[in-house]
Every structure is written in structure tokens, then in C-alpha cells.
Amino acid sequence: MNALVPLVVLLPLIGAAAALVTGRLPRVQVAVTVSALTLALAVAALLLFVVDSSGTLVVEVGGWAAPWGIVLVVDRLTALMLVVSASVLLVVLFYTVGQGLADGDDETPVSIYNPTYLILAAGVFNAFVAGDLFNLYVGFEILLASSYVLLTLGGTRARIRAGITYIVVSLLSSLLFLASVAMIYGATGTVNIAQIAVRLQEIPPDVQLIIHVMLLVAFGIKAAVFPLSFWLPDSYPTAPAPVTAVFAGLLTKVGVYAIIRTETVLFPGGALSNALMIVALLTLVIGVLGAVAQADIKRMLSFTLLSHIGYMIFGIAIATVAGVAAAIYYVIHHIVVQTTLFLATGLVERIGGTTSINRLAGLLKLSPMIGVLFFIPALNLGGIPPFSGFLGKLGLFVAGAELGTPLAYIVIAGGALASLLTLYAMMRAWNVAFWRSQEEFDEHSSPYTATLAEAPGDVEQRSTREAPRLMVRATAAMVALSIALTVFAGPLFAMSLRASEDLDGARHYIEAVLPGTVLPEVNR
């Protein structure tokens, strides 16, 4: 069973290599890419089953024992993240294929897109399975390098501009992360996460705090936590729709995942909980205000994306088993729903020629199907029951209320406000873009949208009046997946809770990687 662990990273890499070699045969390349990701998904699902039934898997790469070699660790949290991200990556791939085939480009941009996409997948998976802090950094580098390429695909002026912001900020965050790794190595003499967790307990708490804050700043940029988040809305929305969908769904969540690990394995005990609560509150409120101010749906979604990162940070800040469990469920929900919405917006762009609600009208009449595919995830994102957005929020609120501190209640209030304003932004877009008739649009402008900010450098795309079927189906599959998160919320929440129990106090993790370690008592 251990062999499954490296396979989840190796499969996409092999796929990428094969895709590079078969660059001149687009159809073969697509087949290779699809099979690599399908297999990776199968492996991830199998891992989830194995880990959930028989405990954490640890693989020592090259046979080098921990702490000297690199270990790959799959516990329930990792397995969950793997399954969700592999599913999303696969569905988005189909969407891309649908788009590419429809565009009639036999060569572009598939020959670049597919291998890069697979390496991105490998990077994401590697970040999840890394049991070694430096290898986590490598995972980040892989996914970031791929994301640079995907973001600037096509090399248009807007994308280059967005790419520069994105790349420079990402490099800064990587630099900070790398510096933190160096400092941790300086203080503890190791990069094995489990061993770091043990040795950090032995160094003075004030130095622990310095390292703790350094790491959080580095991960905070990646996770787009206020005020380290300004880069995101300026970079994500310019990419092609499926790329934005994957970035929005997955990349920030890798940062959140790293924060979860930091707060549970490396620094258990919630030393910075109150600070994180305040950060969560600001992220929630300021982010959603950004969404309210946008006319462009993609940009608006980018703001809701960073706003909702606040929910996850809140769950982490609660620092109880229930809080972290709710955060995990929210992460899963948010990966799915945010991706779905960006895909649906891609369809909107296709039939409407733009994503600005100032220039969209009559979409419901044009395509009721796309209407449904937009409406359901929009409600979901707005936290309307019974969708997963509501359930995640409920879990967070319950955990917060159980904690019962005044600050927790304030963040709950902020979370409720963010939810309402998200709904406002989404339904306003629905009102104008889907409900408003084309005739009315031709006659006069809407009072709702006159003051909204347009995306910079926005160019009207050609519209086709009808979206390719594969794209619509892929989006429908994502919507179905998001509904499954509601239907199977019981087992999923239970799984999140078990994942969170695994993390509690780092004990379980350390014992899995370094059996027999004598642990000092953790102050909780």
C-alpha cells in the first residue's frame, strides 16, 4: 500500500514527460494527460480508503530513514485533499479539452498546456504528501512555476501584466518560506516535519514565536490572507477560465493546508489564535467588500475567494478539534464551489462575450442550462442551505460558539456579514446578467451596476451563442460534485473530524513518522 503514496506524484510527472514527448500528437497528448490524472485520482481515492481504515502511511523515499531522508506522509487530511484536488483537476481538464477542441486549435495551446498542467498537479500533490519542510517548499515551487506558465498562457498584454504581479509576489513568498526553512534548520538542525515538531518544543518559546510568525507570513501570502492578499484579484482573473478555476480552487488552499499543518503539527496549542481570529475577520470583511465593488464576474469571484479564506483561517484559529474539522470541510467545499463558479463564468464568457455584468443580459433566455449551472454554485457560495457552503459555515459557527470567547463571536458576526454580502454580489450578478432581458439592456443601464469597477484591460471576447457540450458537461459534473458534498455531508464531516483528531496535538503525526519518540507534554 505504501507504493501508492509516491505514485500520486509520480503518475502526473510521468504523464507530463509523456505529454512532452508526444507534443506533436495533440490527441495522444490529451489521452495521456487524461489517463495520468484519472489514475492519480484512483490512487488518491484508494489512499483515502486505506488511510481511513488502517492509519497514516509513511514512505521513506530512497529507503533513507527519517529524519535523514525525505518522508512522504499521508494521513486523513492529506488523503482528503488529494482526492478533492485530483477530482477537480480532472474535471477541469475535460473542460479544457472541450474548450480546445471547440476552438479548433490542434496545436495550441495544448502542447504547452497539458504537460504544464500535469506538473502543476504533481506540485499540488507533492505539497500535500510532503513530510519534510524543504520538500514542501519544493512542492510549492513546482506548482508555482507551473502556475506562472499557465497564467501567462498566450502572452497577451493583460496576462503579462498580471503575471508580473503574480510572479514577483509569489517569489517573495517563496523567499520568505525558504528563509523560514533555513531558520528552522538553524534552530533545530532538521527539516523533517515530525522531528521539527519535537525539537521546536525544546527551544525557548519566544524564539518559537518568531519562527511561527515567519512561517505564517510566508504561507499567508500563498493563502491570500488579508493584508497579504492584494495580489490575487489582480492576477488570477486574467488567465483563461479553466486556469483561473484551478488556481482559485486549489492554489490558495495549498497555502491554507500549510497553515493547518503549521498550526496543528509544528505549533500546536494555538499560541497565535487571537491574532489569527482578527486576521480572519479582516479577510472576511475586506475581501467581500471588494467583491461587492466589482462589475466583472471573474474579478468578483476572486474577491469572494479571498474573503472566504477568512472562514478557513477562523476554523484554524478556533484551534479545537471541531474548529479544525470545520475548516477542513470548508476547504473541501471551497475548492469545489470556487472552481465550479469560475468554470460556469467561463461558459458565460463564451455565450455572452464578456464577464462584465454591465454588458451582459438575457443569459437565462439564451441558455437556461448555464443559468442553472451558475445559480446553484452561486447560492452555495453565498452560504444558502442546504448547500455545502452553509454546512461548512454552520460547522465553523458551532465550533466558534463552543469556544465562546467574545472574539469568536465577533468573527462569527463578520462571517455572517461576509456571507450576506457574498450573496448580494452573486445575486446582483444573476439579476442583471441572467434575468435582465437583452431588450432592456439595449434601452437603458441598470442602477445597480453603474458605479461598479470594471476589470482593467478588459477586452470583449468573441461569443458563440452556444457553449461546447464537453465544457457544459464538465461544469455540470462540478455542480454535481458540489451537491454531493451536501448529500454526503455526514460521512464527510465525520471524516474531517477524524482528520482533525489525527492532527490534534501533533502526537499522532510524530508517532507515525518517528515511532518511539518520547514527546514532551504539549501545553494546550
- Identified binder of another protein from the candidate list 53, 104, 206, 462, rule CB under 8 A: 206
Give the per-residue SS3 of 367-389.
Answer: CHHHHHHHHHHHHHHCCCCCCHH
Residue 463 found at the interface with another protein (CB under 8 A): no
Considering the complex, what minimum distance in angstroms separates the CB of residue 521 from another protein? 18
- Check: CB of residue 514 under 8 Å from CB of residue 198: yes
Residue 214 found at the interface with another protein (CB under 8 A): yes
Rounded Cα–Cα distance for residues 120 and 16 (Å): 10
**Which region, judged by CB under 8 A, interacts with another protein, from 104-112, 337-345, 470-478, 511-519?**
104-112
Q: Which of 188, 173, 84, 66 minimizes the C-alpha distance to 130?
A: 66
**Which region, judged by CB under 8 A, interacts with another protein, from 46-54, 56-64, 464-472, 506-514?**
56-64
* 192 SS3 class: strand
Rounded Cα–Cα distance for residues 430 and 424 (Å): 10
Residue 228 found at the interface with another protein (CB under 8 A): yes
- Identified binder of another protein from the candidate list 103, 202, 460, 466, rule CB under 8 A: 202
Residue 152 found at the interface with another protein (CB under 8 A): yes
**Which region, judged by CB under 8 A, interacts with another protein, from 74-82, 152-160, 471-479, 516-524?**
152-160
Please tell me the count of residues contacting another protein according to CB under 8 A.
Answer: 145
C-alpha cell at 351: 455565450
State how far Cα 78 lies from the chain centre.
14
Q: Buried (b) or exposed (e) across 267-278, using 16+ Cβ within 10 A?
A: bbebbbbeebbb
Closer by beta carbon to another protein, 34 or else 149: 149
Q: Which of 341, 343, 184 minimizes the C-alpha distance to 265?
A: 184
C-alpha cell at 348: 458565460
Considering the complex, what minimum distance in angstroms separates the CB of residue 48 from another protein? 17
Site string for another protein, 15-44 (x = CB under 8 A): -xxxxxx-xx--------------------
Considering the complex, what minimum distance in angstroms separates the CB of residue 137 from another protein? 9
- Identified binder of another protein from the candidate list 1, 182, 480, 522, rule CB under 8 A: 182
Residue 119 found at the interface with another protein (CB under 8 A): yes
- Check: CB of residue 137 under 8 Å from CB of residue 177: yes
Q: Where are the beta strands (DSSP E) in 319-425?
A: none
- Identified binder of another protein from the candidate list 1, 49, 64, 465, rule CB under 8 A: 64
Cis (ω within 30 of 0) for the bond into 67?
yes
User: In this structure, what DSSP letter does residue 69 have?
Assistant: S
Please report, as a single letter, which amino acid is at residue 433: A
Residue 395 found at the interface with another protein (CB under 8 A): yes
Cα dihedral value 181, 187, 193, 194, nearest 10 = 180
The DSSP string of 276-311 is: HHHHHHHHHHHHHHHHHTBSBHHHHHHHHHHHHHHH
Residue 62 found at the interface with another protein (CB under 8 A): yes
Residue 209 found at the interface with another protein (CB under 8 A): yes
Place of cell 478555476: 245
Site for another protein in 240-269 (CB under 8 A): none
**Which region, judged by CB under 8 A, interacts with another protein, from 39-47, 292-300, 334-342, 348-356?**
292-300
Residue 94 found at the interface with another protein (CB under 8 A): no
Residue 70 found at the interface with another protein (CB under 8 A): yes
**Which region, judged by CB under 8 A, interacts with another protein, from 75-83, 85-93, 239-247, 448-456?**
448-456
**Which region, judged by CB under 8 A, interacts with another protein, from 59-67, 89-97, 236-244, 514-522?**
59-67
Residue 424 found at the interface with another protein (CB under 8 A): yes
**Which region, judged by CB under 8 A, interacts with another protein, from 96-104, 114-122, 310-318, 343-351?**
114-122
Residue 139 found at the interface with another protein (CB under 8 A): yes
- Check: CB of residue 479 under 8 Å from CB of residue 245: no
**Which region, judged by CB under 8 A, interacts with another protein, from 49-57, 156-164, 332-340, 470-478?**
156-164
- Identified binder of another protein from the candidate list 1, 164, 480, 522, rule CB under 8 A: 164
Site for another protein in 487-506 (CB under 8 A): 489-490, 493-494, 496-497
Considering the complex, what minimum distance in angstroms separates the CB of residue 487 from another protein? 9
Site for another protein in 302-321 (CB under 8 A): 303
C-alpha cell at 382: 453565498
How many other CB atoms sit within 10 Å of the CB of residue 472? 21
- Check: CB of residue 346 under 8 Å from CB of residue 468: no
- Identified binder of another protein from the candidate list 55, 227, 464, 480, rule CB under 8 A: 227
Q: Which residues lie below 8 Å from residue 233, measured CB to CB, with a gap of 6+?
A: 290, 299, 302, 303, 306
Q: Which of 230, 248, 38 minimizes the C-alpha distance to 147?
A: 248
Residue 3 found at the interface with another protein (CB under 8 A): yes
Residue 521 found at the interface with another protein (CB under 8 A): no
